[in-house]
Amino acid sequence: MKLPSILPVGPQPNSPVGDDRFHDECGVYGVFGHEDAAAHTVLGLHALQHRGQEAAGIVSYDSGQFHSERFLGEVAENFSAQDVIDRLHGSVAIGHNRYSTAGETVLRNVQPLFAEFAFGGLAVAHNGNLTNGVGLRRRLVRNGSIFQSTTDTEVLIHLIAMSPLTDVIDRLVDALRQAVGAYSLVALTKDILIGVRDPLGVRPLVLGQLGEAMILASETCALDIIGAEFVRDISPGELVVIDDSGVRSMFPFPKSPERFCVFEYIYFARPDSVIEGANVYEARKRIGAELARENGVDADVVIPVPDSGTPAAMGYASETGIPFELGIIRNHYVGRTFIEPSASIRHLGVKLKHNANRYKIANKRVILVDDSIVRGTTSTKIVDMVRQAGATEVHMRIASPPTAHSCFYGVDTPEQSELLAACNDVDAMRKMIGVDSLAFISIDGLYRAMGHTAGRNDALPQYCDACFTGDYPIPLTDREDGEAPQQLSLLAEST
Ligand code: SF4
């Protein structure tokens, strides 16, 4: 999806909590063969809103014409009006939710991207990141390509345009064979809907059915919202072509060991989704239970950092028998527009979004459960809030191993130097966050919770767990080629 995965990324200015989280960077959706294709795509994107809130777009096709509506902002802000949906004629459509860094939030980067080729029109929407996107782009520019966005989705568009092959599927495969990285993408021509997952299957993509219509979606929660049935996951390395004759499947890439992103289970995916056969909510509870087995502590109450820490905290409480309480209440109505980009108000972020439920905290020994620690800024503020509410002890338990490495596979993460775990051992982190004890689930514990009883080394398939282990399963080609400075200048020129 976006090119500048190797840019230093600071806290998002419009976040109510300083945005001390990894961010998934896109949700994709596609409908083939339904008279309300655009309306269903709006609903699907709404269900996938957690995967990207900065922009959304839909392209549909009808009677010789593609229709495109793309906006900055959330789905409900821009696609609620009937006239917008009415402009997206046709029984086929694809859509995209985007999360982006502040400097890139420009309309030209909003997907799906659409281009006219010798074979006709093609719209593409992409979740992931090409780790050789900058190098490919440089080569394309040298050969005369003119870019209009900073997305690596446009790199794919140019590669498709340059392909000497004639068939659109062959051209797409030709383009993707030159790409290195993680991607789940959907594409639309006048008569086919295409879905593809990269050979390692890092990002999710599922196939669903609604009557005669076929649906592609990043997660199953986006099938549920329209009442579609889950058919199956698109397999790693699989390309599906959906047309009037049905669904065709092909595997046009060299086979690789699967490496699905384990962080999807920990944080990114919606808890009601089922991915690769596992319900995300149940996975989080199992992770919490394993965390408790590994890192028990005597306390009076288990409290989640809402919302993403909640299932893990339930698993932790159930395993230990310590009561689970909602000791921190999240204000769900803190929206993007509420926050002004001024330091004087931004430091209030945590209090705007969370408040301590004093009645459940005062005079108690508290175990706080969260999904992860990124920079540690939010954790520090939440711990301070819990202490001010009268906790006698605060113990923090984290439902992921220490996040010590950046992600380059379609997730917006800080530079490694900004990650608390990259530069500090657990005891140093404990002191900085201000807790009486701090513990993380081990990497083997995480794998055990995901059903691999012997831990990471015996797990087949393994997950991508690079942000914990530094074991990057896909080459970081641009970074190894020292492309970061050029990438910065490309961005600066184009935004
Ligand atoms: Fe997921 Fe791998 Fe990225 Fe971590 S490094 S967020 S496990 S894709």
Q: The domain that contains 390 carries what CATH number?
A: 3.40.50.2020
Specify if 289 maps to a domain.
yes
Q: Which atom of ligand 1 is nearest to the CA of 264?
A: 1
Same domain, 234 and 300: no
Q: Which of 259, 289, 313 is the last residue of a domain?
A: 259
| Whether residues 327 and 215 fall in one domain | no
Q: Which atom of ligand 1 is nearest to the CA of 466?
A: 5
Residues of the chain under the 70 pLDDT cut: 1-19, 23-24, 100-104, 334-351, 483-495
d(CA 188, CA 91): 12
Which among 25, 260, 262 is the best mutation to test ligand 1's pocket, defined by most ligand atoms within 8 Å of the CB?
Answer: 262
Range of the domain at 399: 279-463
pLDDT score of 335: 58
From CA 202, how far away is CA 139, in angstroms rounded? 26
Q: Are residues 312 and 212 in the same domain?
A: no
Burial 284-307 (b: 16+ CB within 10 A, else e): bbbbbbbbbebbbbebbbbbbbbe
**C-alpha 288 – ligand 1 centre gap (Å):** 19
Answer for the pair 237, 198: CB distance below 8 angstroms, yes or no: yes
Q: Do 287 and 188 have their domain in common?
A: no
Tell me which residue of 125, 161, 159, 120 sits closest to 26, measured CA to CA: 125
Asked if residue 125 and residue 55 are part of one domain, the reply reads yes
Atom of ligand 1 nearest to the CA of 465: 7
C-alpha torsion sign, points 429, 433, 437, 439 = negative
- For residues 316 and 320, what is the distance between their CA atoms, to the nearest angstrom? 6
Atom 7 (ligand 1) nearest CA: 465
| pLDDT of 411 | 87
Q: From the CB of residue 249, how many other CB atoms can be counted at a distance below 10 Å?
A: 13
CA distance 155 to 157: 5
Q: Calculate how far, in angstroms, residue 465's C-alpha sits from the geometric centre of ligand 1.
A: 6
**Ligand 1 atom at minimum distance from 403 CA:** 4
| pLDDT for the residue numbered 2 | 37
pLDDT of residue 344: 56
Q: How far is 410 from 412, CA to CA, in rounded Å?
A: 7
| 285 and 419 housed in the same domain | yes
**Residue 229 in contact with residue 443, Cβ under 8 Å?**
no
DSSP-assigned beta bridge partners for residue 115? 122
b (16+ CB within 10 A) / e for 443-454: bbbbbbbbebee
Residues 283, 251 share a domain: no
Instruction: Tell me whether residue 284 is in a domain.
Output: yes
Distances (CA, A) of 378 to 21, 72, 77, 295, 318: 9, 27, 28, 22, 26
Domain match, 236 and 345 both: no
Q: Which CATH number fits the domain that encloses residue 166?
A: 3.60.20.10
Q: Are residues 232 and 125 in the same domain?
A: yes
Look at residue 174 and tell me if it is in a domain: yes
Ligand 1 atom nearest residue 262's Cα: 7
**Residue bearing the CA closest to ligand 1, atom 1:** 261
In Å, how far are 62, 190, 202, 271, 483 from 464, measured between CA atoms?
Answer: 40, 35, 7, 19, 23
Asked if residue 473 belongs to a domain, the reply is no
Indicate if 296 and 179 belong to the same structural domain: no
- The answer to whether residue 15 is domain-embedded is no
Distance 326 CA to ligand 1 centre (A): 29
**What pLDDT does residue 27 have?**
96
CA of 262 to the centre of ligand 1 (A): 7
Q: Are residues 250 and 283 in the same domain?
A: no
Domain assignment present for 7: no
445 Cα to the center of ligand 1, angstroms: 17
Sign of the CA dihedral running 223, 465, 417, 396: positive
- Where among 259, 287, 312 does a domain terminate? 259
Residue of 26, 407, 464, 467 marked catalytic: 26
Count: domains in the chain: 2
Closest CA to 442 of 234, 293, 297, 320: 293
Pocket test for ligand 1, best of 467, 474, 476 (most atoms within 8 A of CB): 467
- State the distance from the centre of ligand 1 to the C-alpha of 183, rounded, in angstroms: 12
- Residue 234 domain-assigned (yes or no): yes
- Sign of the CA dihedral 456, 20, 77, 113? negative
Is 457 within the bounds of a domain? Answer: yes
- Check if 26 is active-site: yes
Using CA atoms, how far apart are residues 72 and 78, in angstroms rounded to an integer?
Answer: 8
- Say whether both 284 and 233 belong to one domain: no
Provide the residue count of the chain.
495
**Mutational test site, ligand 1, from 198, 266, 465, 472, max ligand atoms within 8 Å of CB:** 465
Angle between helix axes 426-433 and 377-388 (nearest 10 degrees) is 50
The arrangement of strands across the sheet holding 246-250 comes to 113-117, 120-130, 181-188, 193-197, 239-243, 246-250
pLDDT of res. 256: 93
CB-based pocket (< 6 A), ligand 1: 22, 202, 261-263, 407, 409, 411, 464-467
